[in-house]
Amino acid sequence: MSSKKVVTDVLTQLSNVLPTGTFLVFQVLAPLSTNNGKCGRVEVVLTAFTLTLLCALCIASCFTDSYKAENGVVYYGFVTRRGLWNPNFKHALISGCEGSYYVGQVENREDNLKYQLEMDDFVNAALSGVALATFSLLTEPVTTCFYPGIQQSILKTVPLLVGLVIGAVCAFGTTPRNGIGFAMAPSH
């Protein structure tokens, strides 16, 4: 495998793990919920609630995947120990479905395992949650609200270190799923 292909694969995995869209939503909402950094108790609670809700959605999205059926239709679902769960599978005429679960083709054991819950899913969820929380909590106007006396060196160093650690884990480990909002990989 060429080094260019490896770099492309790592960047693709990193972009799938990092919660860029969720972070952007939080950045739009943060000035509203923090009253542009002039926080009272209500603003702190509202900002914490907003970040908690977005973190929960970000973590839940790590447990989604997609399946492209023979007819070209893409189905999204939640990954479980049994397989990819989507209520529409119950009525779809797709081989490899058992009720509301896509469990894969009988003759292709690797395909069966691809849609089952793995430890990597929990690692990706944790990395996404940590990344979103770190990047969101250490940006303006949230820092003005939550940590008014924080040093600038912390604001610059911690997000960089978190990004480097997540990048290293992505380079040597986990393969993110093609969840809701992500392009289908050729192997799916």
7: domain range?
A: 3-62+120-172
Does some domain include residue 51?
yes
Both 56 and 7 in a single domain?
yes
Does some domain include residue 180?
no
Both 51 and 130 in a single domain?
yes
Does some domain include residue 188?
no
Q: Which residues contact 78 (CB under 8 A, 6 or more apart)?
A: 63, 64, 84, 85, 86
pTM as predicted: 0.82
Both 35 and 58 in a single domain?
yes
pLDDT at residue 1 in the model? 53
pLDDT at residue 110 in the model? 64
Both 53 and 133 in a single domain?
yes
Does some domain include residue 160?
yes
- What does the pLDDT profile of the chain (188 residues) look like in tens digits? 566 665 556 566 566 667 888 899 999 999 999 999 899 999 999 999 999 999 999 999 989 999 888 888 889 999 999 999 999 999 888 888 899 999 887 666 666 678 889 998 998 899 989 999 999 999 999 999 999 899 999 999 999 999 889 888 877 776 668 877 666 665 54
Both 56 and 126 in a single domain?
yes
Both 32 and 103 in a single domain?
no
Both 81 and 162 in a single domain?
no
Q: Pull the structure tokens for residue 110.
A: 């690797």
Question: DSSP class of residue 173?
Answer: S
End-to-end CA distance of the chain: 20
Both 43 and 93 in a single domain?
no
Does some domain include residue 178?
no
Q: Pull the structure tokens for residue 62.
A: 């790590």
Domain count, the chain: 2
